[in-house]
């Protein structure tokens, strides 16, 4: 159901997609679909929740403990590659998250902050190992920058892929991020 909904939301948008179309894409009757959900917004919530869970599960493959600048670079590349592989899902999620209920949106945003927290952990391990020195406000901002720069490939791929391969993008963005922290003691 989620894969079918993502494909339909990408093609038609959330508001122009019907629950009947989602049921058909999932191989369900409309009655069966309504046994699992109450509204189309419930499907959007499940889509967003599933995408975040997939990204978080895959991010758990990063080495959060090593605490070296090299492990931070590898973590950035690992995340950027996940964003490349899931760019359609992430794009749909961000385009349509505004349609989530006011009860569902904070839950979904909390999941995003948990993923940003994984990058904060990577950065803090570098600080603990003496590979990097920065204060909490810079740690927070750097973690958010990494998170957003990874997503940018999906949001702006139509323009970026004209000038950069995915590998070049990862290398250049990582270099820019590291040049930004070069003002701190490395």
pLDDT of amino acid 181: 76
Q: Are residues 30 and 66 in the same domain?
A: no
Q: Which domain holds residue 33?
A: 1-37
Helices 104-128/136-160 angle, 10° precision: 110
pLDDT for 183 equals: 60
Domain count, the chain: 2
The arithmetic mean of pLDDT across residues 40-55, rounded, is 86
Same domain, 59 and 75: yes
Stretch 21-35: mean pLDDT: 89
Whether residue 20 is found in the same domain as residue 107: no
Top pLDDT among 163 and 53 is at: 163
pLDDT at 21 over 80: yes
Burial label for 152, CB within 10 Å (0-12, 13-18, 19+), is middle
**166 and 143 both lie in a single domain:** yes
Q: Are 113 and 32 in a shared domain? A: no
Q: What is the mean pLDDT of residues 1-29?
A: 89
Largest Cα separation within the chain, whole Å, is: 61
- Average pLDDT value for residue range 120-143: 92
Q: Note whether 17 and 82 are same-domain residues.
A: no
Q: Are residue 68 and residue 124 in the same domain, yes or no?
A: yes
Q: Is the pLDDT of residue 129 over 60?
A: yes
Cα–Cα distance for residue pair 120/98, rounded to 1 Å: 26
* % the chain with pLDDT above 90: 34
Residue 13: CATH number of its domain: 1.10.10.60
Q: What is the pLDDT of residue 57?
A: 85
Q: Please check whether residues 99 and 122 belong to one and the same domain.
A: yes
Asked if 99 and 65 sit in the same domain, the reply is: yes
The rounded mean pLDDT for the chain is 87
């Amino acid at each position: 159901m989620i894969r079918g909904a993502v494909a339909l939301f990408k093609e038609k948008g959330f508001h122009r997609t019907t629950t009947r179309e989602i049921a058909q894409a999932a191989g369900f009757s409309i009655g069966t679909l309504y046994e699992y959900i109450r509204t189309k917004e419930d499907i959007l919530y499940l889509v967003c929740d599933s995408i975040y869970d997939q990204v978080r599960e895959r991010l758990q493959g990063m080495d959060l403990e090593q605490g070296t600048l090299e492990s931070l670079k590898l973590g950035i590349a690992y995340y950027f590659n996940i964003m490349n592989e899931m760019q359609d899902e992430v794009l749909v999620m961000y385009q349509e998250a505004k349609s989530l209920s006011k009860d569902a949106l904070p839950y979904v945003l909390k999941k995003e902050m948990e993923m940003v927290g994984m990058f904060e952990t990577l950065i803090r391990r570098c600080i603990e190992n003496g590979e990097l020195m920065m204060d909490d406000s810079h740690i927070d901002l750097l973690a958010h920058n990494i998170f957003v720069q990874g997503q940018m490939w999906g949001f702006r791929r139509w323009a970026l892929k004209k000038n950069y391969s995915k590998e070049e993008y990862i290398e250049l963005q990582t270099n820019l991020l590291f040049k930004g922290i070069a003002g701190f003691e490395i």
